[in-house]
Amino acid sequence: MVERLVPFSTTIFAEMSALAVAHDAINLGQGFPDTDGPASMLAAAVEAINDGQNQYPPGIGVPSLRQAVARHQREHYGLDYDPDTEVLVTVGATEAIAGAIVGLVEPGREVVMVEPYYDSYAATVAMAGGVRRTVPLVPDGDGFRLDRDRLAAAFTPATSVILVNSPHNPTGTVLSDDDLAEIARLCIDHDVVAVTDEVYEHLLFDGRTHRPLATFPGMRERTLRISSAAKTFNCTGWKVGWISGPPELVAAARAAKQFMSYVGSGPFQPAVAHALDTEMTWVTESAVRLQHQRDLLAAALTDAGFGVHRSEATYFICADPRPLGFDDAAQFCRELPATVGVAAVPVSAFVDDHDSWRHLVRFAFSKQEHVIAEAADRLRKLR
């Protein structure tokens, strides 16, 4: 294996999901839902298969999905993208991130990212031969906020891209409009491209709303906006994602994508197009259920004796096991499946600064109520 990929040889999700299986534990580690997406979407995929849509689709994605993605962004955010030149369908958001970074970052150039960062960011920057510069989230009451001074200091003449993830995995933080405005200002001042990972754009709680960075003045022309059907429509196994942005930036990601997967899977694309066009009420209701599941898991963790952070969005909530006598979250997570039958992931898997984050555990609440109730019973044994 090449040296730069050695640190990325096994993902934390593969490691913790294997432990969950080995110990028959409830998997609150890897973020996936345990119920299906809208029935009409599932039926549309079956129909596409039966209809013979089983050969290579167009490399940039089937027209119906590119058009639905463009329509969706116009309706939700007033963002106008040409479905033929400004939308690219990818194999999940994962390939969108990889295509964008490999297509835009020259070896040795820098990519700014907020820490903790989704694990694929660091691996992808390493594959491109780029250099990552991290900016920490800092504790703020029971939540987290961006350290704007550190953010400004992270921009150098070598910066080519900033990766922005809001709503944020793993903390569930939603960046404020002021944070986004500051990111926009820095991108414009330093002539930097923003790659925005917005896969949780529809999963915000307590009346919060999502605002894409691309809607800020001067940002549409320098932003590649990424999303995915996985979390919006409960279909993480379908691997349908997309990128939108100005033609020259989309072309860079497309050049890389062509030789990563060539094309995405065919029959799922018209099904996701159908869901984007007709199932957004289902998504709104799903977010309401998810908020309730967050409340149940937060209460369970508090009851079990954890210090619990605020989660404003996503599938995830962070908890501090130090009140229970555990100060190393990685070790805690390695033992948890065997000791109480629950799997979680340590936030240290998403950081460079291990000391600052070694005490935090990420739990996924994208599970049915009875599953969270059973996890609550098991976690109570930690007291």
Least Å distance, CB 273 to ligand PMP, is 16
Q: Which is nearer to ligand PMP, 225 or 378 (CB)?
A: 225
The residue with its CB nearest to ligand GLN is 31
Region of residue 141 (left: phi > 0; alpha: psi -120 to 50; beta: else): left
Q: Which is nearer to ligand PMP, 59 or 305 (CB)?
A: 59
Closest CA to 363 of 351, 371, 352, 355: 371
Among ligand GLN, ligand PMP, none, partner that 197 touches (CB below 5 to 8 angstroms by kind): ligand PMP
Query: How many helices (DSSP H) and strands (DSSP E) are in the chain?
Result: 14, 14
- Of residues 143 through 182, those in contact with ligand GLN by CB under 6 A are 169
Asked if the bond preceding 170 is cis, omega within 30° of 0, the reply is yes
Least Å distance, CB 230 to ligand PMP, is 4
Q: Which is nearer to ligand PMP, 34 or 106 (CB)?
A: 34
Least Å distance, CB 107 to ligand GLN, is 25
Residue 217 burial class via C-beta count within 10 angstroms: exposed 0-12, middle 13-18, buried 19 and up:
exposed
Measured between alpha carbons, how far is 238 from 227 in angstroms, rounded to an integer? 14
Binding residues vs ligand PMP (CB under 6 A): 92-94, 118, 165, 169, 197, 199, 228, 230-231, 236, 241
- Of residues 29 through 48, those in contact with ligand GLN by CB under 6 A are 30-31
Among ligand GLN, ligand PMP, none, partner that 234 touches (CB below 5 to 8 angstroms by kind): none
Measured between alpha carbons, how far is 94 from 231 in angstroms, rounded to an integer? 13
Among ligand PMP, ligand GLN, none, partner that 124 touches (CB below 5 to 8 angstroms by kind): none
- Of residues 220 through 279, those in contact with ligand GLN by CB under 6 A are none
Closest CA to 31 of 211, 276, 243, 203: 203
By CB under 6 A, residue 8 contacts ligand GLN: no
Least Å distance, CB 32 to ligand GLN, is 6
Among ligand GLN, ligand PMP, none, partner that 278 touches (CB below 5 to 8 angstroms by kind): none
Q: Which is nearer to ligand GLN, 30 or 234 (CB)?
A: 30
Measured between alpha carbons, how far is 212 from 198 in angstroms, rounded to an integer? 8
Per-position DSSP letters for 278-289, written without gaps between them: H-HHHHHHHHHH
Q: Which is nearer to ligand PMP, 20 or 230 (CB)?
A: 230
Q: Which is nearer to ligand GLN, 30 or 73 (CB)?
A: 30
Antiparallel, parallel or unpaired: β 361-364 and 345-346: antiparallel
Report the chain's C-alpha Rg in angstroms.
Answer: 20
Among ligand GLN, ligand PMP, none, partner that 13 touches (CB below 5 to 8 angstroms by kind): ligand GLN
Q: Which is nearer to ligand PMP, 164 or 304 (CB)?
A: 164
Among ligand GLN, ligand PMP, none, partner that 30 touches (CB below 5 to 8 angstroms by kind): ligand GLN
Among ligand PMP, ligand GLN, none, partner that 241 touches (CB below 5 to 8 angstroms by kind): ligand PMP
Among ligand GLN, ligand PMP, none, partner that 68 touches (CB below 5 to 8 angstroms by kind): none
Task: Extract the tokens encoding 35.
Answer: 């119920």
Helix axes 329-339, 12-22, angle to 10 degrees: 20
Residue 248 burial class via C-beta count within 10 angstroms: exposed 0-12, middle 13-18, buried 19 and up:
exposed
Measured between alpha carbons, how far is 93 from 197 in angstroms, rounded to an integer? 8
Task: Using CB under 6 A, list all residues that contact ligand GLN.
Answer: 11, 13, 30-31, 169
